[in-house]
Structures are given as structure tokens and as C-alpha cells.
Structure 1
């Protein structure tokens, strides 16, 4: 039995009941989730699984009282269309659903609600950052995790990393921002101090410095679980943890202007000054 503290990096257990039972029972709904081209699946350190559609959680999977348990945010679940498929609803944010009823029709309905209630815009100059994140995940097989969260630090602040990449044995944390994000530079009206992106990247650097070996061990276990469950893993071993997190900026501008060029120059000057490894990625 894992005696590590719940929520810690050491708590993830390669032989946790959920992972073992998925391998043994091979439920039809699990195969459906794994084979859906629009869904990506993340392993969580408290030994549960999230299946995502562009950042919106299709289902959270656990194994409790000798059975699989699936939960979804109630706003993504159309009670009228899917009546009879809710097992438990305590009028909280999440409802427990009948996993055996999870089929393509049900998935399409959930995706539709996520599109309507969560994702927002996909096109134009202000596409949803979660949509961009999801596209990056689906197009880059080296992304092994998303929305990594850690809130065990002494001052109880929550650390959340958008993407985690493994390439040539090197594990990197990645922050994602859209080009028009005001947190990317000094703004005399809104942000006259240190831009939030600098504070954010420095927080990641500090976390990596303090926990490098635990991060490496955690993600090696996570890779082992993914492989055992038949999830796509391009590389299976972490050699090093990159101590300088990466920043991806999605340039969604559809046309150039003097002010926009000036903004991009200001951002690049700031990032170079602080030694941040960044990429400005064309998006339109």
C-alpha cells in the first residue's frame, strides 16, 4: 500500500487498482475513449484518470468499492438528452454517470456541450487558449501530460503547468500564452510591475530546482502506466529534467500593424532579458 501523502509526487502508484482493472477488464467504453482522435488522456498523481476534449474533461475515472466510477461536470452533461444515464447527482458540480452507457452518441453530446459552454471561439484572432492547447497536444506526440497541478508548497500556492513534453530524454515544462495576453509584457495601465509571465516562469524554475529528482521519478512512473494501458508514448525514459521551462506564444494576429510589431518586439526583449526559452508560433 502506498503510504506517501496524497497529492504528492510520490503518491502515483503504477499498480493502483484503477490501472490494474482497466488492463484486466478492458471495458468497451475505455477502448472508445482511447481510440477517439479528439480525446487525450492524462494520468493524475492521485491515481485517477482524466479524459479531455480540448481542455474540457469528458470524464474523470476512478475505481471505488470494486467498480469503475466516472464523473463529469454537470454543465457538460445534457440531462434531457441523456436521461437514465446518471447514477448519482447530489446537486454538486459533478455528476456520476453510467460508464456502460458511454457510447459515441453520448460522447458527441458531451463534446457539443464543452464546445458551447467552455471552449468558446476557435477561429479568428482570439481563439480559446484551451483549443490551442488541445491542438498542440493532438499534433505533438512528445506531449505526455497537460494541466500538471501541484499545491503542496509551503505557502499553499497552486502551481499549474499547461504542457509537459518529453523529447530526446529531456522533460520540459511548457507554459502557453496567446500573443495578445496582457501578462506577457509591462503594461503601464494594468501591469506596471514585473510582468506575470516572468513571475510564473520563475516559480516553475524554483519548483524544478527543489523537486528535480521527484519530478523525474514521477514522470517515469507515469510513462510506465501510460504504456501499460496502451496509451501513445513515443519515448519511455526520462534522462534529464530541463531546469528552464519553455514558453510557447501562439501568434493569432491575422494582420500586421505597427503597434502589433512593437508589442512583439517588447515581449521578445523582455523574455531574452530574463533568459526564457520561448517560441512564437504562427496560429492563423
Structure 2
């Protein structure tokens, strides 16, 4: 599942393939931006901000979000794509590489001068050079009644955590996901979030257990009904969100997370 570390890795691959080159062709398959043509412009950089990917080309930014199923792939010119062309929503081609964004949840282009303002709502980026743990803690503590799992996944508090990390962090700290944020020690939780996602940012397969074997990498995420790896109690499952529209799956061990 795409989370901050997934987007960080994608940005590094795209930056290595495209940065410094002139764009020879763009094809943005979203009606609102279908006429945008960035050919002839230079790719300055490709970077991530939380779960957002920013391709800075000329005086514009191609902003994409992977959502649940999106991904960017880099091909050599003329190379056959490994996914169907109808799934492509954004294509950026240079003389040496073709970057294709498949099943992207968000695609938009805006002036580079607007980047800071458009993403100003995001909290501190866990994988950013300007990561600010104290600011993340302050934002979480500002809404003490919100369930801690919801607060951790709120990109306005800290940018980069998705549902996998949210559930795993709650387990690692022994916190029931439904616990109000005001009853949780936010400082060690935020510190752990930073350490865990940074430990995974260069890994091919994400792990929170420390075990790098298929089926053994996570503690509770998507393991409803299976025994807890720590105590053997059956993992429970529920839905949790700020409202009925934003419900997310939640998993926990009723014994380890009291």
C-alpha cells in the first residue's frame, strides 16, 4: 500500500531518471489538464511531500497522489510497458526515459510559485529534511478527543503515515486505536513513527516486526482473526474514522493494546 516511504522511493527513482533533462513529450490524461504541454521544459527535480509526489518541470509542478493503487514506473524509450496503456494517467518522456503514472488517484498541474501554498495544510513531513516532531505533537494534542489512530493518519498533523503504519504504531506502543489522543503520550509515539518509517524508507518490503519474510513483516495490519505474534490472542478488526465518510479499517490485539 502506498504510504510516505513508498512515495519517497518513487520520487528518488523518478528524480534519478529525469532530473536535469529536457522533456520531449507529456501526455496528461485528465480532462482538466489534457491540453497541458510541458515539452521543451527542463525537469528540475522530483520530490515527495508526505504522500504527495511533486515533479517540478520548468515553471510548473506536476502534482500526483498514488491513493490506494497508483504507481509511477520508469521505462526506456521504446520499451514495452508492464501495465496496460489505458491505466496510464500521466506520461513524461525525455530522450532517455519514459515515466508513466498508472492508476493515479490525483493528477494536477499548477504554477511552481503556488506549491508552498497548495501544500501548506500538510503537517510536518516524516521523511522531509524539515521534519519537526514537536510541531507534529502540538497538532495531535490540539484535538484531544480524536481517536489516536485517526489523529496519526490525519495528514494535517504529520504527513506520510497511512493505515499500515497507523495500526502498527498503535500496536508497538500498546495503544488501542480508539483511545482519545488526549490520553496518549504523543511525544514517544511521534518519535517512534519517525524512527519506523525512516528505517523502512530504503527497504524493498516494509517491516515493523523486524522480520523480513513474507507473511511475518507486520504485527496486526490485515490480520483479523489470526493469533497475535506476541501473546497469541486473536487480532480484532473494526472501522474507525473522523466521520462515516472517512472510515478506515483498524486492527488491534485486545490483550497487548489495553
The two structures have a TM-score, normalised by structure 1, of 0.25
Higher helix fraction: Structure 1 or Structure 2?
A: 1
TM-score (norm 2): 0.27
Q: Which structure features the higher share of strand residues?
A: 1
